[in-house]
Amino acid sequence: MNFTVKTRDPKSRARTGTLRTRRGVIGTPVFMPVATQGAIKAMSQEDLDALGAKIILANSYHLYLRPGCDVIESLGGIGKFMGYEGAILTDSGGFQVWSLSGLRSLTDEGVTFTSHLDGSRHHLTPESVIGIQDRLGSDIRTALDECTSYPCSEAQAEASLARTMQWAERAAQEHRRRVESVDPAARALFFPILQGSVYPALLRRSAEHALGLDPDGICIGGISVGEPKELLWSTVEAATEHLPEGHARYLMGVGAPEDLWEAVARGVDMLDCVFPTRVGRNGTALVRGGRLNITNAAHRSDPSPLDAECKCFVCRRYSRAYLGHLIRSHELSAYRYISYHNVQYLMDIIADIRQAIEQGRFQEARRAFLDRLNAA
Ligand SMILES: [Zn+2]
């Protein structure tokens, strides 16, 4: 197996573990920065190295459209192309295509959509989406799925799940066909995606089906589409309840600071989110105890760093006053500085979480984190 559980928290589903990929072993829980177009927005791969990011996410939908699989494949795959040596997980594009409402049509065969870049028409199938990820050369590949909106009736969710399961079988078969002649240590991994909206019985069916596909890990999808937070967490619980220990569990698109603790408590091992860089570009710094709008008048002459407890190069060197000035002046360096700090903060939180589980104090650490956040 490529995933091994190391330490368990006795009072929740939190656990630490190791995920073995062809680009190295990754300690979990792990936060994956998002390189939508082959770059973490406003950041460099030197930044990723400095942050110790051993795994990132890229979007096969975007890279397939531009620069295209031909270019990336001819240059040795996405890692070589972007100059990053860690592991890369690609999403299947199911969520991006689903987001193109009005520009796409889905059938049991696959999905046809109009490119948001140039209006060209494209047809993707579960098999071709695995082929795209193979040509991109990612290290963890995901199955094409059909997402649901929130709210969504149980009948609608069931119909989407039926299609997702059928597509996952085709994707799994295509993945196996492509990797069977590859040395096991050099093989890419395959993660199907659970769907079922917020309905526990459907999530259970989805989980049981996915486990039958001999997956290397499991994605929890269809979440964080506008449902209230309590429902999001009960859905994640319903999904992880039916998953045996031996597979890594990746919760897609969830990753605010407090979410990391909540997700891990429910048995999640991997998370990704554009949140830290998206809010960073708007001048919001994520700091211990909450969030800081750096353009707020209160920071205009503030000599303190974004976060006095942060060890990142931005906090060691620059003041809130200076960073606020850069954002107000639309200086491009501001986007890098605040994004870098925000990603560093999430990497620090996930490292704290791993350490707390290993030292048997996950519950206390989680409570302390949330108390500090609520007191702010
Ligand atoms: Zn910092």
Report pLDDT digits (tens) over 15-66: 999 999 999 999 999 999 999 999 999 999 999 999 999 999 999 999 999 9
Q: Which of 240, 273, 306 is the last residue of a domain?
A: 273
Q: Are residues 172 and 242 in the same domain?
A: yes
In 3D, which of 283, 229, 235, 231 has the Cα closest to residue 256?
229
Do 268 and 284 fall into the same domain? no
Whether omega for the bond prior to residue 67 falls within 30 degrees of 0, making it cis, is: yes
Instruction: Report if residue 325 sits inside a domain.
Output: yes
Q: How far is the CA of 268 from the centre of ligand 1 (A)?
A: 26
Same domain? For 218 and 334 the reply is no
Average pLDDT over residues 226-246: 95
289-343: pLDDT as tens digits: 999 999 999 999 999 999 999 999 999 999 999 999 999 999 999 999 999 999 9
Does any domain span residue 297?
yes
58 and 107 housed in the same domain: yes
pLDDT at 223: 86
| Å from CA of 6 to ligand 1 middle | 30
Provide the pLDDT for residue 17: 98
pLDDT of residue 312: 98
Domain with 80 in it:
3-273
Contact 114, 63 (CB under 8 A): no
How far is residue 166's CA from residue 200's CA, in Å, rounded to a whole number? Answer: 20
- Our count of domains for the chain comes to 2
Q: Ligand 1 centroid vs 368 CA: distance in angstroms? A: 20
- Which residues surround the ion ligand 1 when the cut-off is CB under 5 Å? 310, 312, 314-315, 341
Mean pLDDT rounded to a whole number for the chain? 96
Is 337 found in the same domain as 188? no
Question: What does the pLDDT read at residue 301?
Answer: 98
**Cα 301 to ligand 1 centroid, rounded to whole Å:** 19
Residue 261 has pLDDT above 90, yes or no: yes
- Domain end call among 273, 298, 322: 273
pLDDT the model gives residue 203: 97
Residues 53 and 179 in one domain: yes
> Considering the domain boundaries, does residue 47 fall inside one?
yes
Residue 376 has pLDDT above 90, yes or no: no
pLDDT at 366 over 90: yes
Answer yes or no: do 78 and 197 share one domain.
yes
Confidence of residue 119 (pLDDT cuts 50, 70, 90): very high
Asked whether residue 234 falls in the same domain as residue 198, the answer is yes
Is the domain of 43 the same as that of 186? yes
Catalytic residues: 91, 272
Residue 77 domain flag? yes
209 — pLDDT class (breaks 50, 70, 90): very high
User: How far apart are alpha carbons 226 and 76 in whole angstroms?
Assistant: 38
Residue 155 shares a structural domain with residue 231: yes
Question: 100 and 203: one domain?
Answer: yes
What mean pLDDT comes out for the span 229-235? 96
Q: Would you say residue 114 has pLDDT above 90?
A: yes
Q: Is 126 domain-assigned?
A: yes
Within-domain flag for 376: no
Distance in Å, CA 344 to ligand 1 centroid: 7
Given a contact cutoff of 8 angstroms between Cβ atoms, the answer to whether 13 and 309 are in contact is no
For 138-150, the pLDDT digits (tens) are 999 999 999 999 9
Residue 307 Cα, ligand 1 centroid: separation in angstroms? 6
Domain CATH number, residue 254: 3.20.20.105
Q: Please indicate, yes or no, whether residues 269 and 284 belong to a single structural domain of this protein.
A: no
Cα 319 to chain centroid, rounded: 30
Cα(49) to centroid(ligand 1), Å: 16
Domain membership of residue 130 (yes or no) is yes
Mean pLDDT of 114-123: 94
Which of these three, 247, 273, 299, is where a domain ends? Answer: 273
> Is 191 inside a domain boundary?
yes
